[in-house]
Each structure stands twice: as structure tokens, then as C-alpha cells.
């Protein structure tokens, strides 16, 4: 059985092109790299390098093929390890991820109603990572803004999230029952730095507004309370303490945003093998989804 370490060194050599750079990147000595590469050639019974030029070697065609296949093997080994570890960690809990903060904020707000061992991951999942995260069991459930239907993944529709805006009472817009995105042009907003697909929605639909992004939710709350900057909330976050605390000073009115682009559909996506564990949660969540 071939050791994985020489394969890692072979892949690293392909990337950096020299033995010295390979050794430096892997924090080992150059003679160690040389010795392991020769051992790998012996175990495979093939030549992987061109050695015609003194003190300089390159991968030959067989070596290039071997490096490419080694990269696949190392990725599969990493996937195997991650999947086993995640399964052991998650077997007694449902870990929940999301591509936007609203659904998990809402779930956290009503979590006590569910007699389930839930672990909510507030670090947003990139849309391109959803399928891999489900396959590797990093999360058992991910809230997505698109339905997923594959041989082993399915989605359940939950509802629509839409935004409202808190506007300073001295701003004439705060006296209106609703505004459009166009009405908000020229304003300066404070908002969380990672809001998933909502960032594109607000920036595309209010191109002449300014957006000041904050990474820390507590800092955002403090700035909201002691400034006149307008801020967004949603039907999913309106009742949470993080939002209600931002209205503590009673210096803003909540105004609906009546705009055709002010909506994102959300689904609960999961492996079909987890259907029995996940669907009861999703059905209850859909029933309580705020309109």
C-alpha cells in the first residue's frame, strides 16, 4: 500500500516545480523529498521524472499523470476523513447551515419549541459549497434560496423572506406606510457584512445609496441605537432581540418595502437519507414562517 505522504510531495512538486520549493512548502528537508520521490518510483516500478539536466528535474508524462491521480486520491482521502468525523459528531444532532442569516436567526428565536438537538452554524454557507457540505455531513440541513433536486438531495419549500427598513423619525419617508427601493436612493445604511444574496439585492436595486458593513452584530446594534442611519430587517428577524434592541431608543419607525424585487424564496435542503430526521423540523418551521 502506497503511503500518502510521497503522493502529497509529488502533488506539491507539480505545483511548485522544484525540490527546494516543495521542501520549503512542506516544512521538510530537500533530501527527504528526493528520497521519498525515489522510493515512490521504486514502489510503482516506473520513472516519474526527467533527470537529464544536472541538478534539475521535471515531471515526465508518467509523472504528470501520477501527480494528477495523486491529487484526486488525496482529495478522496480528505473527503473520507471529513465525512467519518462529521458523521460521528452529528449522529445525535442536527447541524443547520444557511446561505443567508434570516432563516437561522428565526430558527434560533423559536428553537425552544423544538424538542431536537439543534446546532446552528451562523457562518454562511457559500452557494457553491452547499452540495459538498451536505455530502460530507458538515451540515445535515442547509437553508438555500434555490430548490435542489439530485439523486440524493432534495428540498422542502419554507416561505419567502422580505425586507423592511427602520428609518429615523425626522426623515419624511418614516411617515409612509411603505416605500420602494427607488425611494431609498441617496440614503446611507448600516448592515451586517455577510447577508448572503440580500447584498446583491439591495446594492443592485439601490445603486445610489451608501452601505456601511459591520462584522459584529453587537457593534451593529450599538451603532443603530445611537445613530440615525437607516437599517434593514426582515419578516424573519423582526421579532428577534437583535432587531428589537435596535429600536430601543424609539427614534425610528418601521416601514415596509413594497417592491417586486424585495423577496427571496427559501428552502430546507438535505440528503434524502436524512429525510426522517429533518422533515419534522422543516414542517414545523414552514407552519410558523412569518408572512
Please report the DSSP string for 118-136 in residue order: EEE--SPPPGGGHHHHHHT
Mean pLDDT, range 160-164, rounded to an integer: 97
* Percent helix, percent strand, percent coil in the chain, to nearest 5: 45, 20, 30
Domains of the chain, each with CATH number or no CATH: 4-88 (1.10.10.10), 96-158+267-288 (3.40.190), 163-257 (3.40.190.10)
Q: Give the residue, 1 or 68, on which the prediction is more confident.
A: 68
Q: Is the pLDDT of residue 90 over 70?
A: no
Q: Give per-residue pLDDT as tens, 197-206.
A: 999 999 999 9
Retrieve residue 197's grid coordinates: 444574496
CA 216 to chain centre: 17
With H, G, I as helix, E, B as strand and everything else as coil, classify residue 195. coil
Q: Which of 260, 264, 267, 263 is nearest to 282 (CA)?
A: 267
Mean pLDDT, range 7-32, rounded to an integer: 88
Q: Give per-residue pLDDT as tens, 220-250.
A: 888 888 889 999 999 999 988 888 887 777 7
pLDDT at 83: 76
Retrieve residue 186's grid coordinates: 441617496
Q: Is the pLDDT of residue 14 over 80?
A: yes
Q: Give the residue, 119 or 160, on which the prediction is more confident.
A: 160
CA distance 244 to 82: 39
pLDDT at 92: 64
| 207 confidence band (pLDDT: 50, 70, 90) | very high
Highest mean pLDDT among 78-87, 106-115, 163-172: 163-172
pLDDT at 150: 95
Mean pLDDT, range 83-109, rounded to an integer: 84
Mean pLDDT, range 243-267, rounded to an integer: 90
Q: Is the pLDDT of residue 279 over 80?
A: yes
Mean pLDDT, range 95-107, rounded to an integer: 95
Q: Is the pLDDT of residue 46 over 70?
A: yes
| 53 confidence band (pLDDT: 50, 70, 90) | low
CA distances from 221 to 168, 184, 191, 217 (A): 15, 21, 10, 6
Lowest mean pLDDT among 83-87, 151-155, 214-218, 241-245: 83-87
pLDDT at 250: 77
Mean pLDDT of the residues in the chain: 90
CA distance 165 to 62: 61
Q: Give the residue, 243 or 187, on which the prediction is more confident.
A: 187
Mean pLDDT, range 24-39, rounded to an integer: 88
> What whole-number percentage of the chain has pLDDT above 90?
55
Q: Is the pLDDT of residue 30 over 90?
A: no
Amino acid at each position: 500500500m502506497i503511503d500518502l505522504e510521497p503522493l502529497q510531495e509529488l502533488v506539491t512538486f507539480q505545483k511548485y516545480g522544484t525540490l527546494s520549493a516543495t521542501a520549503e512548502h512542506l516544512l521538510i528537508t530537500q533530501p527527504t523529498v528526493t528520497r521519498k520521490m525515489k522510493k515512490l518510483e521504486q514502489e510503482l516500478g516506473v520513472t516519474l521524472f526527467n533527470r537529464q539536466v544536472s541538478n534539475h528535474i521535471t515531471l515526465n508524462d508518467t509523472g504528470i499523470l501520477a501527480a494528477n491521480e495523486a491529487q484526486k486520491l488525496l482529495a478522496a482521502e480528505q473527503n473520507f476523513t471529513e465525512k467519518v468525523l462529521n458523521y460521528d459528531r452529528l449522529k445525535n444532532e442536527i447541524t443547520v447551515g444557511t446561505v443567508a442569516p434570516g432563516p437561522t436567526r428565526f430558527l434560533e428565536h423559536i428553537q425552544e419549541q423544538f424538542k431536537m438537538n439543534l446546532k446552528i452554524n451562523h457562518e454562511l454557507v457559500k452557494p457553491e459549497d452547499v452540495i459538498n457540505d451536505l455530502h460530507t455531513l458538515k451540515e445535515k440541513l442547509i437553508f438555500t434560496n434555490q430548490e435542489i433536486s439530485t439523486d440524493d438531495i432534495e428540498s422542502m419549500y419554507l416561505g419567502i423572506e422580505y425586507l423592511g427598513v427602520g428609518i429615523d423619525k425626522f426623515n419624511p419617508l418614516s411617515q409612509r406606510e411603505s416605500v420602494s427601493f427607488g425611494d431609498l436612493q441617496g440614503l446611507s445604511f448600516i448592515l451586517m457584512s455577510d447577508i448572503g444574496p440580500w447584498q446583491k439585492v439591495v446594492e443592485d436595486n439601490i445603486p445610489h445609496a451608501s452601505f456601511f458593513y459591520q462584522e459584529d452584530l453587537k457593534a451593529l446594534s450599538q451603532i443603530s441605537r445611537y445613530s440615525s442611519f437607516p437599517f434593514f430587517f426582515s419578516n424573519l428577524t423582526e421579532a428577534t432581540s437583535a432587531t428589537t434592541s435596535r429600536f430601543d431608543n424609539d427614534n425610528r419607525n418601521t416601514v415596509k418595502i413594497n417592491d417586486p424585487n424585495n423577496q427571496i424564496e427559501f428552502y430546507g435542503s438535505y440528503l434524502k437519507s436524512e429525510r426522517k430526521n429533518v422533515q419534522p423540523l422543516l414542517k414545523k418551521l414552514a407552519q410558523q414562517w412569518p408572512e
